[in-house]
Amino acid sequence: MNIFDIMGPVMVGPSSSHTAGAARIGRLTRALLGEVPVRAEILLHGSFSATGRGHGTDRALAAGLLGMTADDPRLPQSLVLAREVGLEVTFGSVTLPHAHPNTAVLTVTGLSGRTVTVTAASLGGGRVQVTRVDDLEVSFSGDLPTLLLRNRDRPGIVAEAAHLLSAHGVNIATLHLRREGRGGLAAMVIESDQPIPEELLQALNTTDGIVSVRYLDPEGGV
Amino acid sequence: MSFNSVESLLDASRDLPLWRAVLEHDCQEEGIPPEQSLSRMDALWQAMKSAVADYDPARHSASGLVGGAAARVESSPHPIVGGFVTQVIAAAMKTGECNACMRRIVAAPTAGASGVLPGVLLPYQSQYHTSDQEMVHALYAAAGFGQVIAARASISGAEGGCQAEVGSASGMAAAALVSLHGGTPEQMAHACAMALKNLLGLVCDPVAGLVEVPCVKRNVAGAMNALACAEMALAGVESAIPCDEVIDAMRSVGALLPDSLRETGRGGLAATPTALRAAQRLRGGAL
Ligand code: SF4
């Protein structure tokens, strides 16, 4: 842990896991959607559900969906602000088998009708882990630029994607592969050291065999 | 690798101030220039001050259990000690209350224990007219010890109980005070060790699972304990058990704590009849 994991962050209270982490989950979900959200259905699991209201977990998640960071003083008013800007948010409870006690499932629809469902856990100290995006099991923190690629399971596709990245000067930090069955659909989750430029996203999108591309830019605002 | 023993931290401080060793070590790790790290730490220090300045006694927490207490302490008609010590109590409470009321604070090392460091550092600055720069240096000393605690034990109540949150904050604050007051790195280690020892075994038992009761007032305990331990260490009093061994003991005590006393809100104060009634009342409005 570096010293700023010990000292800091600056955050709106009361809980680094239930408030700061929740805001981060909301913000990552907005980034994964890649556009302005207009509707969000949020399900809370475990301790998030049991003590979420007292900790402002609901407001923190909504604040994150509005693009706020954990230290934004408007965070406590986020539900009112959401209504004002036309983001409709509903909350419910869910019980997920084997999930971390501080887990939320967010199904979010954007202006264009595009949707994404994100499951993420707040691990403490404001750090989070995304565990599922739509029907894909994943494991990333959102600290690094992250690419989620759906591809047809054929020889050479991983090399092609890796080649495209290196051709754009993007270094791969981690790469995880998953497939649903031989020759079927597979997925790649790539964390990189550099942000992914727009033309690289285009190139990936038009690569034969890559079915869908989602990109999480941790710095990027939508 | 961050510092994983107080011994290695003291070794690194042979030829330069301890805070400087922590700063340089972290900059090397992160590949950032010292100015960048210093300005980041300064931002945390300014945020600690703003949180206390922003205190409003009229504010109340979500449960209604927290609010207005620091103002009462400050305006007590008949205080026993008053002065510096009363300021410590008030500053720790103000930050704790701000946290419970969803205001902006600095997690140090956590949000629950956010009142301990500002609790001792703000009154110190106004008493001794120390510069912001020196206060920032003290935060590096605190972070150095915090790093070792996080590496060898834990700074999370869910893992190690409140000894890991308020206890760790108290140990860090004791070291920071010794650093500010011109003590040696060895004295910082003794202060930190004594502060941790005094709070060893402290359980995490928040009423209704909220960071309100007993958290706000435990920040006062952490701050006062830090003050006493720094005073002892500066006078040459030593911890009979070395700091690293105390931290290891804290880890094993944490591991022995049952789940009910590690932030689940199911044991200790959280299981008292009054707490259960409060929780019941809140659940009416739960999500
Ligand atoms: S009692 Fe638990 S929640 Fe409260 S400050 Fe201590 S560790 Fe944090």
pLDDT in tens, B166-198: 999 999 999 999 999 999 999 999 999 999 999
Strands A115-124 and A102-110: antiparallel
Pick the most confident of B59-68, B164-173, B260-269.
Answer: B164-173
Tokens of B42: 């300064």
pLDDT in tens, B89-119: 999 999 999 999 999 999 999 999 999 999 9
Q: Which residue on chain A is closest to B29 by alpha carbon?
A: A2
User: Cβ of A54 and B103 within 8 Å?
Assistant: no
What is the pTM assigned to this prediction?
A: 0.91
- CA-based radius of gyration for chain B: 18
Q: Which residue on chain B is closest to A12 by alpha carbon?
A: B104
B150 contact A CB<8A: yes
Q: What does the pLDDT average to over B38-54?
A: 97
- Assess contact for B142 and B136: CB atoms under 8 A: no
B41 contact A CB<8A: yes
User: Cβ of B112 and A14 within 8 Å?
Assistant: yes
In whole angstroms, give the CA distance from residue B108 to residue A184: 49
User: In a structure prediction context, what are the per-residue pLDDT tens digits for chain A, which is 222 residues long?
Assistant: 789 989 999 999 999 989 999 999 999 999 999 999 999 999 999 989 988 888 999 999 999 999 999 999 999 999 999 999 999 999 999 999 999 989 999 999 999 999 999 999 998 878 899 999 998 899 999 989 999 999 998 889 999 999 999 999 999 999 999 887 666 789 999 999 999 999 999 999 999 999 999 999 987 666
Per-residue confidence (pLDDT) for residue B287, from 0 to 100: 45
Which residue segment(s) compose the domain that A183 sits in? Answer: 146-216
Q: Closest to B63 (Cβ–Cβ): which among A47, A54, A58? A: A54
| Number of DSSP helices (H) and strands (E) in chain A, helices first | 7, 11
DSSP state of A96: -
- Assess contact for B105 and B147: CB atoms under 8 A: no
Q: Please check the confidence at residue B285 and state whether its pLDDT lies above 60.
A: no
* Of A104, A134, A164, the domain-final residue: A134
Overall CATH class of domain B6-284: mainly alpha
- Assess contact for A26 and A60: CB atoms under 8 A: yes
* Of A112, A134, A156, the domain-final residue: A134
B132 contact A CB<8A: no
pLDDT in tens, B1-31: 689 999 999 999 999 999 999 999 999 988 8
Task: Please check whether residues A152 and A176 belong to one and the same domain.
Answer: yes
- Report the nearest atom of ligand 1 relative to the CA of B110: 8
User: Cβ of A93 and B142 within 8 Å?
Assistant: no
Give the CA distances from residue A93 to residues A21, A58, A66, A77, B270, in Å, rounded to whole numbers and listed in that order: 18, 12, 21, 22, 23
Count A/B contacts: CB-CB distance under 8 Å: 142
Angle subtended by helix axes A57-65 and A47-55, to nearest 10 = 80
User: Cβ of B210 and A55 within 8 Å?
Assistant: yes
In whole angstroms, give the CA distance from residue A29 to residue A103: 13
Task: Please check whether residues A121 and A203 belong to one and the same domain.
Answer: no
In whole angstroms, give the CA distance from residue B190 to residue A172: 45
> Domain limits of chain B?
6-284
CATH of the domain at A35: 3.30.1330.90
Task: Please check whether residues A40 and A122 belong to one and the same domain.
Answer: yes
Contacts of A16 (CB under 8 A, 6+ apart): A9, A124, A125, A126, B107, B110, B111
A142 contact B CB<8A: no
DSSP state of A170: P
Three-point CA angle B95, B98, B103, nearest 5°: 125
Count of all residues that appear for chain B in the document: 287
